[in-house]
Amino acid sequence: MRPARLLPALLIAGAFVRLLLPSVSGLSAQYFTNDRFAGTPVLARVDREIGTPALDAAWLGDPPAAFSVRWQGYIEIHRPGLHVFSTRSDDGSRVTIGDRLVIDNGGSHVPLAATGAIALEAGLHRILIEYVQNGGGYEMRFSGAPAGWRLRPQRAPDWALDAARALDLALALLLASAIGWAGFALARGRGAGARRVSRSIAQRPRAAALAFFVLLAVAETWPLARHPVRLSRNDNHDTILNEWVLAWVAHQAPRAPAALFDANIFHPERDTLAYSESMIVQSAMAAPLLWCGASPVFAYNAVLLAGFALTGWSMCLVIARWTSAWMPGLVAGTLAAFNAYTMTNLPHLQSLHVEFLPPSLLALDVLLRDPRPRQVLRLAGWFTLQALTSIYLLVFAAFALAAGAAVRPEWRRRRVAAALCLAAAAAAAALLPFLLPYWRVHHVQGFTRTLDWQARMSANWRDYLTTPGRIHYALWGHALFWNLGLFPGVTGLSLAAVALVRRTAFSDRRARMCLAAGLCGLVLSFGPAVPGYGALYAAVPLLHAVRAVSRFGFLALFAIAALAGFGLADLRRATSPGRWRALAAGCLGLAVLEPLAAPLSLVRAERVSPIYARVALVPGAVVAEVPFYGGGSAHAHATYMLNGTAHWKPMVNGYSGVEPASFVDRVNALAGFPDARALDALRQAGVTHVFVHPDGMPPGTLDAIGKVPALREIDALDGIVLYELTSP
């Protein structure tokens, strides 16, 4: 029977088998219609996910004003060691593992994160998670790192786990076979429909390739496209920070481009956009959406999908040109865009737009053979665009191009060397206005990434065996996963090995460039552990901007993707046409399937309350939002920044890669708000309006504020109170 016809039958059989297996994920939940876990629970069920979506489903979107939930069962630890767990809740939450209270995030407060660490041996441990909602909005999120653990409502036998994993693997392999069979049938043109599609692709191959990668981006990130306005990775504060960046650049660039980097956070500091990635290119993509009224969450999701699709498409176009075949391009593009690195960096939009690196390598190849001014401008232009997506990618692209040029003998020719220098100078001139703010922050704030810091953020051998792809994660990845995946995949490694064995990786000048770039990234990803790295760090100031040098490993994955395209082209030349179609379709199917981590774990992004728009039209307004978090909770200011997109007034709050000294001082000064010291600190910063979240403040805060004449209440909405701060 054909795999495509067998798939529905096995899916039905698999669902039936799972019904016979003991439940192997989630926790037993008890729901109470009071905030004290008192009486008989009104609902008992197994929740596969501990968080807001489970609460929405349990209460059918209409919860009581106050309620409590108790989740209990077992946590299965695959890798022994120190595990860090966290909750983000509105209101209180507690986590107990064994007989130890790991997290106490209790009380009535706005969404607030808390963490706790515990050393756990491999095996099953009792876990109890408690959540209390005292009124108003509700939110709950439970997570932990490193990965490699599973929640189970009961002590399911090992055979049940093994059977479930085997079933997942069997279905995944069957799906790959179905994709391969469909590609084989399409390539042979079987059926009238297949022939029509084949003719359309032949007439517009570039458009067809783009459509392929757009659909693949939707599938690999599912269910993000199902509801991009509300679903997101806003459980990660870096996602919220990047949403704010897109919105700020789109807001400020057409109004005051000269003040683009003087963002509205950490008032009255300057160049605060340079405290993190400015993402000029991604912001330009998001700007039309934001100008039409789209939310920052939707803009972020749209640009995220575009990053995946454009990266795959550009790699496909370049490899197809270099190999004179579209199938090697499709496979290389799939491996470059969807891999362990990109799928573990969804909260980091700056890591997902690598669409300008392939044309940069193409432009370098052309310039080395034809060093005319037009080629100089092309190389400078593509590199500049890549550099404007991320400081990290500026550094990665610079090293990749340098390594690629170093293995080409043409660079020794005087004319070619002069053209390379001109391209570097042109790119530097174009980037200078965007890099000067980072230089000023480096000197004013002392912002740099030290060797000691880079040593802590270097790669290790486990990273190159780590991937969130469901197949490999189920087999071995769960025991190794930390937070960065760099496993290239069996498909990529196998096809790249073909290019190495057949020596195409050395004899073809373009493949040799890619190989050199990949080896450069592989070595640099280990940071100070590599002999001579300290000298390179001292000689190349660009390295001072890199914190997580482990991310250099992306260049290794990128090179393997390119070499896989060359390897598949070698197989094409060595295979008969009939076998080639089946081989090509199978390789593409495996390349699609290996990184598949869908369905992704996404959260519901909350809307910005309309109360923030109250200060949008107030001339000279300066905003503060309290509680004013510091230390390990400073990331909570990211939500305040997203709130600020409703008014764009200067605000003393902020979250980024740098915390200026004034922010740290303000954390201490505002700890006793609304006491006299806090009010003096706010006045010195020029604050005119204060948004207060009473649920996150100590009991009696509103009563204390009511006794302060300088704080005049203006409005209250969604559990937030807006005050005007007047002169003494």
Cα-to-chain-centroid distance, residue 15: 32
12 has a pLDDT exceeding 70: no
Looking at residue 631, its amino acid is: G
Give the pLDDT band of residue 184 (cuts 50, 70, 90).
Answer: very low
Specify the pLDDT at position 4.
47
Please provide the average confidence, as pLDDT, over all residues in the chain: 86
Name, of 30-39, 56-65, 98-107, 248-257, the range with top average pLDDT. 248-257
Q: How far apart are CA 463 and CA 480, in angstroms?
A: 8
Instruction: Enumerate the β-bridge partners of residue 505.
Output: none
Domain edges within the chain? 27-156, 204-229+295-593, 610-725
At 254, give phi and psi (nearest 5°). -80, -10
Give the pLDDT band of residue 186 (cuts 50, 70, 90).
Answer: very low
Specify the pLDDT at position 350.
93
Looking at residue 61, its amino acid is: G
211 has a pLDDT exceeding 50: yes
**What mean pLDDT is predicted for residues 82-108?**
87
**Nearest in space to 56 (alpha carbons), one of 144, 151, 141:** 141
Quote the tokens at residue 288.
Answer: 């039309």
Which DSSP string corresponds to 424-450? HHHHHHHHHHHHHHHHHHHHHH-----
The tens digit of pLDDT for each residue in 328-353 reads 999 999 999 999 999 988 889 999 99
176 has a pLDDT exceeding 50: no
Q: How far apart are CA 279 and CA 365, in angstroms?
A: 27
1-5, 483-487, 508-512: least confident range: 1-5
Q: Coil, strand or helix: which one is 643? A: helix
- Report whether 295 contacts 645 (CB < 8 A): no
189 has a pLDDT exceeding 50: no
440 has a pLDDT exceeding 60: yes
Specify the pLDDT at position 488.
93
**What mean pLDDT is predicted for residues 460-467?**
87
Specify the pLDDT at position 156.
57
Give the pLDDT band of residue 651 (cuts 50, 70, 90).
Answer: very high
Give the pLDDT band of residue 374 (cuts 50, 70, 90).
Answer: very high
Give the pLDDT band of residue 494 (cuts 50, 70, 90).
Answer: very high
**What mean pLDDT is predicted for residues 569-594?**
88
Q: How far apart are CA 94 and CA 72, in angstroms?
A: 12
State the SS3 of 74-129: EEEECCCEEEEEEEEEECEEEEEECCEEEEEECCCCCCEEEEEEEEECCEEEEEEE
The tens digit of pLDDT for each residue in 233-292 reads 887 889 999 999 999 999 999 999 999 999 999 999 999 999 999 999 999 999 999 999
Better pLDDT: 462 or 308: 308
The length of the chain, given as a count of residues:
728
Q: How many CA atoms lie within 13 A of 35 on its CB side?
A: 16
Specify the pLDDT at position 177.
52
Looking at residue 354, its amino acid is: V
Q: How far apart are CA 696 and CA 674, in angstroms?
A: 14
Instruction: Enumerate the β-bridge partners of residue 712.
Output: 724
Specify the pLDDT at position 143.
87
Q: Give CB contacts under 8 A, 24+ apart, made by 34-39.
A: 34/66, 34/67, 34/68, 35/66, 35/67, 35/68, 35/132, 35/133, 35/134, 36/68, 37/68, 37/70, 37/130
The tens digit of pLDDT for each residue in 118-153 reads 878 877 888 999 999 988 888 999 988 776 688 888
What CATH superfamily classification does 27-156 receive? Galactose-binding domain-like (2.60.120.260)
Quote the tokens at residue 376.
Answer: 């100089």
Specify the pLDDT at position 215.
87
**What mean pLDDT is predicted for residues 615-632?**
91
**CB crowding 287-309: b at 16 or more within 10 Å, else e:** bebbeeebbbbbbbbbbbbbbbb
Rg (the chain; Cα; Å): 27
Better pLDDT: 478 or 663: 663
Specify the pLDDT at position 479.
66
Specify the pLDDT at position 6.
53
22 has a pLDDT exceeding 50: no
Cα-to-chain-centroid distance, residue 390: 13
Better pLDDT: 481 or 203: 203
Give the pLDDT band of residue 687 (cuts 50, 70, 90).
Answer: very high
- Report whether 696 contacts 727 (CB < 8 A): no
Supply angle C-alpha 47, 51, 56, rounded to 5: 80
